[in-house]
Amino acid sequence: MAIMTLIMGESGTGKTTSLRNLPPEETFIISVTGKHFPVRGFKQKFANVEDDRENGRYYGSNKWNKIVKAINSISANRPEIKYLVLDDFQYIMADEFFERSAEAGFNKYNEIGAHAWEVINAMQNARTDLFCIMTAHTELTQANATKIKTIGKLFDEKGTPEGRFSYILHSLMLDGNYKFLTRHDGTHNAKTDLGLFDEKYIDNDIYEVIKKIKEFWGDEIITDTNL
């Protein structure tokens, strides 16, 4: 199984910005919204697969089945890619919902949730040396706790998607600075290995987090232990 990391938070708190230092030659970005990556020289560093199918490192799509196909292909055929990013996960569900808004009945909600679940399954079942990083917006529950913003009850009540990730970092703005929360604070969901970080808040640089994870685990095979 791949090494699963979730970056969740409100819009504007630095989720995508936290990806800025990932090495382009080892990184592949799947953008659900098609927005640009926040790095200088983005188009040169992350060629679109439509322009360079063999060596491209950027793919834009909001279709769950195309995203699953892309994840499987990268895992099987692109060994040079060590960091796979899925940016703005919740729009996979939101866009399908609006496309199907004229449909009557509640079955579409179950189908939308099942499709989103297939995307997470594909990421988790990728090869073991691949760091799969997903960003997602959040919403508050009635219990005043944060969760991934979703569509319908099936995905949340039956699946608890946050439980599929070994690492959850919550993006926050503190005193004008972008930060990651490393452990649950009673409202914001976050989790990391015990002893990985002494600090409750760290700089929002996912590449530095990954280096800490590699240092923490050494040469051991990293697998999802929080299922």
CATH of the domain at 180: 3.40.50.300
pTM: predicted TM-score of the whole model, two decimal places:
0.90
User: pLDDT category, 106, cuts 50, 70, 90?
Assistant: confident
pLDDT above 70 covers a percentage of the chain that reads 93
Provide the pLDDT confidence category of residue 223 given band limits of 50, 70 and 90: very low
Task: Look at the chain and report how many structural domains it folds into.
Answer: 1
Q: Tell me what the mean pLDDT of segment 170-177 comes to.
A: 94
In a domain, 226, yes or no: no
As given in the structure block, the two tokens for residue 26 are 């080892």
Q: Is residue 222 part of a domain?
A: no
Full residue range of the structural domain in which residue 9 is found: 3-217
Report the pLDDT value the prediction gives residue 219, as an integer from 0 to 100. 56
pLDDT (tens digit, 9 = 90+) per residue, 44-93?
899 999 888 888 999 999 999 999 999 999 999 999 999 999 999 999 99
d(CA 57, CA 45): 8
140 located within any domain:
yes
148 falls within a domain: yes
178 beta partners: 173
User: Is 213 within the bounds of a domain?
Assistant: yes
Q: CA separation (Å) from 69 to 64, 73, 123, 184, 227?
A: 9, 6, 11, 33, 24
pLDDT at 160: 78
* Residue 224 included in any domain: no
- pLDDT band, very low/low/confident/very high, at 158 (cuts 50, 70, 90): low
pLDDT band at 145 (very low <50, low <70, confident <90, very high): confident
Residue 186 lies in a domain: yes
